[in-house]
Structure 1
């Protein structure tokens, strides 16, 4: 499994190249902000034209991560669909793929701000979920208990590599909270030096850039620890 190991709340976690999070002791794969149906929503409501196969690409990525990790449990951290009731607009082949992926797994949909949870699909539907020392929700709370795991912001960071700027989606984590990148294809992102993120993360926070070779760097935009 190609992933970067790190510790959060004394738990060994793995940041996957795709933006998924694997928690081996719980057999758990966590993904956030799939935004399935983004291109379908854009076509329906006159938004920007996007490649028509973004949902297929996202589900293919998810299938690969389930296979490589062997996860038996899945948590989708909200905004799984790009708009309420959008699952009905997906091609039948994508819906079949999704239900096939769910078969035999303990699957939890966390409510997001784009979707209230796809209640027509199988799985458990929750606003938040506590599992051991970790607490899963869609949007980070300003004041929170240690162990919060969330999504929503689609963080990304830029790394200077051999004189070139390389921007990738990224995980952000400090002693209290962990924010996942968007998992879906063509979801965009928010630079982690944005005040919306620097206000949440403490000094010494780290960023893990996704991609073929995930790498960890100090979170840009924060004062380093002295």
Structure 2
């Protein structure tokens, strides 16, 4: 990792295995879960939950275990319990399709309300869930919190999909970045954060979400100079230089 990138990010290891960096000067913590913690604002950010993806596939005859929503909410609940955020922002594509909310189990909907109680809870619109979140009727009214298109938070600007060109402070999801490294003739592919200290793309938080290689032009093209990939390990976030990725 080059000296200029290190100076901008100021990466530091947290005792929990997370990695602290600076995005446009704002201290941020890259959590092992794939969530982003902004301590100055007590804000927890997670991207691309894709709740009810399993049931969406089942409706089309492709049988997947119907436990993705439960597993994803388990992870989100653990983050909320540990960090006690004042605000939770779900960065778009929280639901897999327009009918996901109606397919959610009552227990999962009740858990969302429990998690949101006493804190600000914001749903950003994503390309998968825009219609679901803004739908009229009982399904949309079952959700806690508010729906917003984007959000400013100090030096950060939270949005679902990264925008082209220089976007200082942008925090986005949508692309599901994943890093691949090869060692001892074996390849390892893991979800990752990717950042140059000016902007950051978060990994998908959902249990059934795939990943796009960070070297794909859709991701690499967002950065004027080689960024850092921060891959999710079992108990720590691994900072990887661009040259180590394949």
Instruction: Provide the TM-score with structure 2 as the length reference.
Output: 0.85
How many residue pairs are counted as aligned between the two chains?
Answer: 221
- Structure 2 segments unaligned to the other structure (5+ residues): 1-15, 134-139
- Work out the CA distance in 2 between the residues paired with 1:148 and 1:157: 20
1:119-159 Cα deviation digits (max 9, x unpaired): 42121211111111100110000034310000000000012
- Work out the CA distance in 2 between the residues paired with 1:141 and 1:97: 33
Give 1:85 deviation, angstroms: 3.4
Q: Tell whether the 8 Å contact from 1:193 to 1:220 is kept in structure 2 after alignment.
A: no
Correspondence list, 1:46-65, <5 A? 46=61, 48-65=62-79
Q: Tell whether the 8 Å contact from 2:22 to 2:197 is kept in structure 1 after alignment.
A: no
- Work out the CA distance in 2 between the residues paired with 1:220 and 1:39: 36
Aligned to 2:90: 76
- Work out the CA distance in 2 between the residues paired with 1:140 and 1:130: 15
Which shifted more, 114-123 or 196-205?
114-123
Give 1:198 deviation, angstroms: 1.3
- Structure 1 segments unaligned to the other structure (5+ residues): none
Give 1:220 deviation, angstroms: 5.6
Aligned to 1:107: 121
Instruction: Provide the TM-score with structure 1 as the length reference.
Output: 0.92
The structure with the greater share of residues assigned to helix is 2
**Secondary structure of the structure 1 residue equivalent to 2:89:** strand
Partner residue of 1:142 out of 147, 153, 164: 164
Aligned to 2:12: none
Q: Tell whether the 8 Å contact from 2:54 to 2:208 is kept in structure 1 after alignment.
A: no
Cα RMSD after superposing both structures: 1.7
